[in-house]
Amino acid sequence: MLSVSINEVNSLCGLLIITSLLVIETKKARWSAMFYSFQSLVLVLIFLSLAVLMQANQLYLWAASAFVTKAVLVPLILYRALSRVEEAEMPKNAMSPVVALLIAAASVAVSFIVVDQIQIKAVAPFKPALAISVAHFFFGVLCILTQRNIFKQVLGVCLMENGAHLTLALLAYNAPELVEVGVATDALFAVLIMVTLGGQIYRTLHTLDSSDLTTLKG
Amino acid sequence: MYSAYLIWLLLIPLILSLLVFAVRWLGRATRRVVEALHLICVTLVLVLSLVVVQGVLVQGTVIALGNWLHVDSLGAIFVLIVGLVGFLVGLYSISYIRNDLETGEFDNAKMSIYYGLFSLFLFTMLLVVTSNNIIMMWVAVEATTLGSAFLVGIYGKRSSLEAAWKYIVICTVGIGFGLYGTILVYADAVNVMQEPRLAALWTEIVKNAQALDPALLKLSFVFVLIGFGTKAGLFPMHAWLPDAYTEAPSPVTALLSAVLLNCSLFVIFRFSTITNLGIGPAFSQTLFLVFGTLSVGAAVFFMFMQRDIKRLLAYSSMENAGLIILAFGLGGPAGIAAGLLQLLNQSLVKALLFCTSGNILIKYRSWNLDKVRGMLQVAPVTSLILIAGALALVGAPPFNIFVSKFLIISTGMQVGYAWLMIICLILLMVAFTAFFRVIGSAVFGDKPEGVVRGDVRAFSLVAPLAILLIMILILGLYMPPQLATLLNGATSVAMTGNSTSQVAGASFWQSSPALPTGLIQAEAFFAPLANLLPWK
């Protein structure tokens, strides 16, 4: 019988934040897609560990669907889209690694404070994991707000969704399966539609820089 | 029996949307087939939504699929709006899109995408207002964004792509917050109810609301308000709204403003019922009052600066969303009833005005006041409709919004928010000025060179507007008893979560001290119309 400890789950969650920094800070955009795939694998591992730990069989299914959509399909979609763009035309990263690190630390700190308010017995041992999942969500939001590269903004959405997905797994793993299917499908379609729109913007406006999108104001 | 109709109401737009996507390769016949499928879709959605509403009137609630789908009086009002506005705007789309085909903005492929997404968009909105499973409700709201993002950017121009991008990014982030709010309520409910399958159902959660953790309820409601408030265009999460509304094809804007905005408010109302039952109404009401007033204020400020008719209407949608939330913030049956009536009324007026803006675009190829002048000479019927719609929107009698705005303000005065109502009245007057500055400039004056005299004539460009205008007038003068029953029941549902609408609703009106006094004033004001008011 496979044994997993709560600490292992919490450390795996810590690894999520590190992979997020890699996704955002890597200079080559295509590498971010690969780092994202790596991060999703970590998420799959967390789902599997939680499945063992909480004896929640549904989470095996979640792990399988996360593997297909997040570790394979989404990175493939992103990689293909990014391959069509000249590396030289990519806008520079708006966030320096130091700033990104500080923001990540701040999101974790704030999330720990927020999560501390949650008084649900079943979740008590996983509070660090829960806090990190919330922090991951906020880190994704901050990426979207600070990144100029529209594909990096898509990755921000992906990070956000991974955080939300982990929260969902911790708090709502026993929800009906259809719910998880719905959430995962939405996430996949969101990326697909954003990438298609991003591609259209690149072809029509010849830019990937969201700060160039300034026709509409007031 | 009604359960089957409810399921078909969801299946029809989904199936027909897929069919429309499938027939795009038919070659020359594509246009006719697609238009026929589209008309069948919007007509069936209208008929089925009326049947479902009838079901709610007869038996209180209509449920299906093991209680996953649930329409009570509150849901019925929204189903009615989707069906009615969906049909009229769908009809309007026919000639509008034909015009785009003639001018080369659209080709057959784009047309198929448009109609396919239109039906899909209707499906996702119907799913929002019929879901009883709160997480599915979230999934449906996110799907509305995904379904409509391409519709916003469908012209593929620089500005429309930019608007679509802002729309999808801001709303996806916002909805992310909504997911957190939803998950927190669910996790809390599981903790209390010990039955995961029931804990996701809104009807079950409201029964156990008092056992939920107060701190979590507050936290989740803040997340919900930020999340779904983003989709409703509440300040300060509104940045996407004016751009998306302006750049989308006019029928789509009509759907965004008259239907989607309401769907987002619907979700907020569902969660506020849980929060109010759990920790009392003070918390949600305070947030509603703050967000409502700020949204009205910010919207009016932007409205005053506009020289673009459609953008002005867009900000006016934000103003109305604020006003509806504000009415809910006033609390009590009177505030909620007034808010719901305002919601229904503004849907009809907004559908009318955004379709009218489509007719203006067909004549002038612009909405900017530098180009749109002398409408009375160029398009007399359209300009009269525009004036009537604008009068209705700012709340002039005898149009419908007058009644609901009057009820909101008088309720506010009754429940002790006199100062806030005075601020609101001032803001509404500024909005009035902003409107008539723009409308006056567009309607009067000499027509610009190059614009041919002669109004739009196509049946489907005029008929839906005429029907909407008639409904707006009727609702200003008369309240159909069925609608009054729905509003009574919906108010009761919003306050107690109780779906036995007719009984609970009726007793509410009798037991509420605020409402009769508020309405005595209203009745005195209306004098001859008083007998027609539903809640006399």
How many CB pairs below 8 Å do chains A and B form together?
Answer: 138
- Which secondary-structure segment (H or E) carries B467? helix B459-477
Start-to-end Cα distance in chain A: 62
Average pLDDT over residues A1-9: 73
Q: Does residue A177 belong to the interface with chain B, where contact is any CB pair within 8 Å?
A: no
Contacting residues of A for B172, CB less than 8 Å apart: 157, 160, 190, 194
Instruction: Report the pLDDT value the prediction gives residue A120, as an integer from 0 to 100.
Output: 73
- Segment A182-194, tens digit of pLDDT: 888 888 999 999 9
Q: Which of A111-120, A162-171, B312-321, B395-404 has the lowest mean pLDDT?
A: A111-120
Contacting residues of A for B138, CB less than 8 Å apart: 183
Share of chain B above pLDDT 90, in %: 72
- Could you tell me the pLDDT band of residue B247, with boundaries at 50, 70 and 90? very high
Instruction: Report the pLDDT value the prediction gives residue B500, as an integer from 0 to 100.
Output: 57
| For residue A152, pLDDT beyond 50 | yes
Instruction: Report the pLDDT value the prediction gives residue A88, as an integer from 0 to 100.
Output: 65
Number of domain units in chain A: 1
Token code pair at residue B332: 């009590």
Query: Which residues 7-46 of chain A have a CB within 8 Å of chain B?
Result: none
- Taking a C-beta distance cutoff of 8 angstroms, is the pair A157, B172 a contact? yes
- Could you tell me the pLDDT band of residue B15, with boundaries at 50, 70 and 90? very high
Instruction: Report the pLDDT value the prediction gives residue B524, as an integer from 0 to 100.
Output: 42
Contact flag A178-B197 (C-beta cutoff 8 Å): no
Contact flag B142-A205 (C-beta cutoff 8 Å): no
Contact flag A176-B197 (C-beta cutoff 8 Å): yes
Axis crossing angle, helix B309-330 with helix B418-443, rounded to the nearest 10: 160
How many angstroms separate the CA atoms of B48 and B44, rounded?
Answer: 6
Query: Would you say residue A95 lies in a domain?
Result: yes
Contacting residues of A for B180, CB less than 8 Å apart: 134, 137, 164, 167
Q: Does residue A215 belong to the interface with chain B, where contact is any CB pair within 8 Å?
A: yes
Distance from CA of A17 to the nearest CA of B (A): 18
Cα nearest neighbour of B145 on chain A: A190
Instruction: Report the pLDDT value the prediction gives residue A121, as an integer from 0 to 100.
Output: 73
Query: Which residues 152-171 of chain A have a CB within 8 Å of chain B?
Result: 153, 157, 160-161, 164, 167-168, 171
How many angstroms separate the CA atoms of B212 and B368, rounded?
Answer: 52
Contacting residues of B for A150, CB less than 8 Å apart: 165
Average pLDDT over residues B230-238: 93
Query: Would you say residue A1 lies in a domain?
Result: no
Tell me how far CA of residue B211 lies from CA of B88, B182, B199, B203, in angstroms: 44, 17, 13, 15
Q: Which of A147-161, B72-86, B90-104 has the lowest mean pLDDT?
A: A147-161
Say how many residues make up chain A.
218
- Segment B192-226, tens digit of pLDDT: 887 888 889 999 999 999 999 898 899 899 999 99
Contact flag B161-A121 (C-beta cutoff 8 Å): no
Q: Does residue A114 belong to the interface with chain B, where contact is any CB pair within 8 Å?
A: yes
Task: Print the domain residue range for A152.
Answer: 6-209
- Could you tell me the pLDDT band of residue B82, with boundaries at 50, 70 and 90? very high
| For residue A2, pLDDT beyond 70 | no
- Taking a C-beta distance cutoff of 8 angstroms, is the pair B273, B493 a contact? yes
What ipTM does the predicted assembly reach?
0.91
| For residue B109, pLDDT beyond 60 | yes
Angle at CA of residue A212, ends A209 and A213, nearest 5°: 105
Average pLDDT over residues B98-103: 93
Average pLDDT over residues B214-240: 93
Token code pair at residue B99: 């015009």
Contact flag A186-B213 (C-beta cutoff 8 Å): no
Contacting residues of A for B135, CB less than 8 Å apart: 172, 175, 179, 182-183
Of B136, B149, B184, the CB nearest to A182: B136
Q: Is the peptide bond before A75 cis (omega within 30 degrees of 0)?
A: no
Average pLDDT over residues B502-523: 40
Of B159, B169, B243, the CB nearest to A153: B169
Burial of residue B441, with CB atoms counted within 10 A of its CB: 0-12 exposed, 13-18 middle, 19 or more buried:
middle
Contacting residues of A for B311, CB less than 8 Å apart: 218
Which residues are bridge partners to B69 per DSSP?
A: B64, B131
Query: Would you say residue A218 lies in a domain?
Result: no
Contact flag A176-B219 (C-beta cutoff 8 Å): no
Please count the other Cβ atoms lying within 10 Å of the Cβ belonging to residue B256: 26
Which residues are bridge partners to B63 per DSSP?
A: B70
Contacting residues of B for A172, CB less than 8 Å apart: 135, 183, 186-187, 190
Spell out the residues 6+ positions from residue B239 whose beta carbon is closer than 8 angstroms to its own. Answer: B166, B170
Query: Would you say residue A144 lies in a domain?
Result: yes
Tell me how far CA of residue B429 lies from CA of A52, A107, B296, in angstroms: 63, 43, 12
- Segment B37-63, tens digit of pLDDT: 999 999 999 999 999 999 999 999 999
Contacting residues of B for A115, CB less than 8 Å apart: none
Which is nearest to B83 in space by CA: B118, B116, B37, B126?
Answer: B126
Q: Which of B133-137, B375-379, B463-467, B500-504 has the lowest mean pLDDT?
A: B500-504
Which residues are bridge partners to B62 per DSSP?
A: B71
Query: Would you say residue A10 lies in a domain?
Result: yes
Work out the mean pLDDT of chain B and round it to a whole number. 89
Contact flag B246-A174 (C-beta cutoff 8 Å): no
| For residue B514, pLDDT beyond 50 | no
Contact flag A205-B158 (C-beta cutoff 8 Å): yes
Query: Would you say residue A163 lies in a domain?
Result: yes
More confident residue, B523 or B403: B403
How many angstroms separate the CA atoms of B257 and B313, rounded?
Answer: 9
- Could you tell me the pLDDT band of residue A114, with boundaries at 50, 70 and 90? confident
Cα nearest neighbour of B187 on chain A: A171
Cα nearest neighbour of B165 on chain A: A197
Question: Per the confidence metrics, is the pTM higher than 0.80?
Answer: yes
- Could you tell me the pLDDT band of residue A108, with boundaries at 50, 70 and 90? confident
Contacting residues of A for B197, CB less than 8 Å apart: 176
Query: Would you say residue A182 lies in a domain?
Result: yes
Instruction: Report the pLDDT value the prediction gives residue B298, as an integer from 0 to 100.
Output: 96
- Segment B294-334, tens digit of pLDDT: 999 999 999 988 889 999 999 999 999 999 999 999 988 89
Distance from CA of B136 to the nearest CA of A (A): 6
Query: Would you say residue A66 lies in a domain?
Result: yes
More confident residue, A207 or B12: B12
- Segment B135-182, tens digit of pLDDT: 999 999 999 999 899 999 999 998 999 999 999 999 999 999 999 899
Average pLDDT over residues B102-125: 94
Contact flag A183-B179 (C-beta cutoff 8 Å): yes
- Could you tell me the pLDDT band of residue A11, with boundaries at 50, 70 and 90? confident
How many angstroms separate the CA atoms of B505 and B521, rounded?
Answer: 22
One-letter amino acid at A41 equals L
Which residues are bridge partners to B368 per DSSP?
A: B308
**Mutating which of B127, B154, B173 best tests the A interface, going by the most A Cβ atoms within 10 A?**
B173
Average pLDDT over residues B430-450: 89
Contact flag A122-B191 (C-beta cutoff 8 Å): yes
Of A140, A175, A194, the CB nearest to B186: A175
How many angstroms separate the CA atoms of B35 and B116, rounded?
Answer: 10
Q: Which of A9-13, B107-111, B160-164, B376-380 has the lowest mean pLDDT?
A: A9-13
